[in-house]
């Protein structure tokens, strides 16, 4: 009898919670987004032509060939395209990395606008040659057009136009661009180190990370500004299995490659990492909920407090990107064994790339992996590791300023906090900046997302005027700020 009462009590509580969730969902207003490309033909053509010339200067960064001169050639192209900027600003070059200081009325609480100049390699068959900078089909084509010379062009052009008007910023403004971002090189740290050496603390840093995206999850249509509020940590790890080797005609059990295979299979079948919802993901779902097309999806996303355990299990099934926002991820990327078909390896290796989530950072994630590897007779060697960045405060001045600027320049676009699962140069600025924001004010549709680091990279020319206006507004928003 007691069990029956307990069951009835549980059912009653569950029904009450569901009723509360239902009322909350019914009270939620229905929202839609709107976004359109610029129809100002003169501006679109001008900006597209400038971006085209920037794309035409090949700036592939390579660990094997750290050539600097190509980046200095790119600096010359920038100087030709933005003469006022280079005539007005103090220029600092550090091994091909570029820093321009635009002196403001005061030097306290300065801001920095940042976008890397280097690009990844461009192999394969392209619709337009990868360094042609072709302007066709309403787009600028070529390696770097979207990642991220478009943003670089936009904030240089914003400064150029403001200077032409005789504008003097309220605070110092820094224009930054590294030449090693794509290879995780020393450019970002060197530029950040310059600020430490000068004793300068930035109020705001704007880098890549998020952008204006379309249809963020299934069942939600529209355009949203995904603002990156933190990025995951980075790690490279090598797993090593050893043996005495031998002839392949008489193999023993658990030779190096089978041990590695069992280990990889174990990690792939059941993640060893904990899933958890960060404030960023909670806020993202809460903000998406009013835009849901179906009531069921809105019901779930608007009541994360009730459905979070379910979402933890379901999100990884929705997409790899969704799963990456909840946990540390591991991707096995390289492997090596013996050099002969008939030779058992004395040593075999598998390499992996990790992205660490804040609730289970580098140290704990690596300890979990090391313990699991030892169970399979495998050694783990950490090649590189870096902790996740600090999160931007959603109620802080930096996020508020960026959000207000987005609403001003893109009035019909929703704003979503976003977890940056890749790595950006912004991660090096945590010690010299109060608010590191990861957002590029350009439109990345499915075609643009597929083209970055892939074939036929491009950016819609019609999104460039609003990007310029966004950076102008960020600069001018510093007026009167203490």
Per-residue pLDDT of 253-308, as tens digits, reads 889 999 999 999 999 999 999 999 988 889 998 999 999 988 988 888 889 888 88
| pLDDT (average), residues 359-384 | 96
Quick one: pLDDT at residue 297?
87
The answer on pLDDT for 152 being more than 80 is yes
Q: What is the pLDDT of residues 188-216, one digit of tens each?
A: 999 999 999 999 999 999 999 999 999 98
Q: Where are the alpha helices (DSSP H) in 289-444?
A: 295-301, 304-318, 320-324, 362-375, 397-409
| pLDDT (average), residues 455-477 | 98
Rounded to two decimals, the pTM is 0.92
Quick one: pLDDT at residue 247?
85
For residues 76 and 35, what is the distance between their CA atoms, to the nearest angstrom? 35
| pLDDT (average), residues 136-152 | 97
The answer on pLDDT for 6 being more than 70 is no
Strand order in the sheet with 458-460: 135-136, 139-141, 458-460
- Length of the chain in terms of residues written: 482
Quick one: pLDDT at residue 75?
98
Of the candidates 393, 383, 291, 321, the one whose C-alpha atom is nearest the C-alpha of residue 28 is 291
Quick one: pLDDT at residue 308?
87
| Domain spans in the chain, listed from the N-terminal domain onward | 41-231+391-476, 233-386
Q: Which CATH number fits domain 41-231+391-476: 3.30.420.10, 2.20.28.270, 3.40.50.150, 3.40.630.10?
A: 3.40.630.10
Higher per-residue confidence, 79 vs 304: 79
Using pLDDT thresholds of 50, 70 and 90, give the confidence band for residue 8: low
The CATH fold assigned to 233-386 is Alpha-Beta Plaits (3.30.70)
Using pLDDT thresholds of 50, 70 and 90, give the confidence band for residue 11: low
């Amino acid at each position: 009898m007691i069990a029956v009462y307990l069951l009835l009590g549980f059912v009653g509580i569950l029904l009450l919670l569901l009723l509360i969730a239902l009322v909350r969902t019914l009270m939620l207003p229905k929202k839609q987004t709107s976004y359109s490309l610029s129809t100002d033909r003169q501006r679109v053509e001008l900006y597209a032509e400038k971006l085209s010339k920037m794309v035409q200067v090949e700036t592939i960064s390579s660990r094997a060939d750290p050539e600097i001169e190509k980046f200095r050639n790119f600096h010359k192209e920038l100087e030709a395209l933005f003469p006022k900027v280079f005539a007005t600003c103090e220029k600092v070059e550090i091994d091909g990395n570029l820093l321009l200081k635009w002196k403001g009325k005061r030097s306290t609480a300065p801001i920095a606008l940042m976008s890397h100049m280097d690009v990844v390699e461009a192999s394969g068959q392209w619709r337009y040659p990868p360094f042609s900078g072709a302007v066709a089909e309403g787009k600028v084509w070529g390696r770097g057009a979207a990642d991220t010379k478009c943003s670089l062009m936009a904030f240089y052009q914003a400064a150029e136009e403001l200077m032409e008007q005789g504008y003097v910023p309220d605070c110092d403004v820094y224009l930054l661009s590294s030449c090693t971002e794509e290879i995780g090189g020393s450019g970002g740290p060197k530029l950040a180190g310059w600020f430490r050496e000068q004793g300068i603390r930035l109020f705001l840093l704007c880098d890549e990370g998020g952008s204006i995206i379309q249809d963020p999850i299934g069942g939600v249509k529209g355009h949203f500004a995904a603002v990156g509020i933190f990025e995951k940590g980075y790690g490279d790890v090598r797993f090593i299995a050893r043996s005495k080797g031998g002839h392949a005609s008489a193999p023993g059990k658990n030779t190096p490659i089978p041990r590695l295979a069992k280990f990889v299979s174990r990690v792939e079948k059941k993640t060893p990492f904990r899933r958890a919802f960060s404030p960023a993901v909670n806020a993202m779902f809460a903000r998406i909920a009013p835009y849901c097309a179906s009531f069921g999806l809105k019901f779930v996303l608007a009541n994360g407090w009730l459905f979070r355990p379910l979402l933890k299990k379901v999100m990884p099934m929705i997409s790899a990107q969704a799963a990456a926002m909840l946990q540390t991820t591991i991707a096995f990327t390289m492997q090596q064994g013996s050099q002969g078909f008939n030779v058992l390896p004395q040593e075999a290796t598998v390499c992996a790339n990790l992205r660490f989530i804040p609730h289970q950072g580098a140290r704990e994630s690596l300890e979990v992996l090391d313990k699991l590897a030892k169970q399979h007779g495998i050694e783990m060697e950490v090649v590189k590791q870096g902790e996740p960045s600090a999160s931007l405060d959603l109620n802080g001045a930096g996020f508020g300023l960026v959000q207000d600027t987005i609403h001003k320049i893109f009035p019909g676009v929703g704003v979503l906090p976003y977890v940056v699962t890749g790595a950006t140069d912004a991660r090096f600025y945590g010690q010299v900046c109060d608010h590191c924001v990861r957002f590029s004010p350009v439109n990345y549709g499915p075609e643009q997302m597929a083209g970055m680091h892939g074939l036929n990279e491009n950016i819609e020319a019609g999104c460039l005027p609003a990007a310029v206006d966004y950076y102008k507004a960020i600069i001018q928003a510093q007026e009167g700020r203490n």
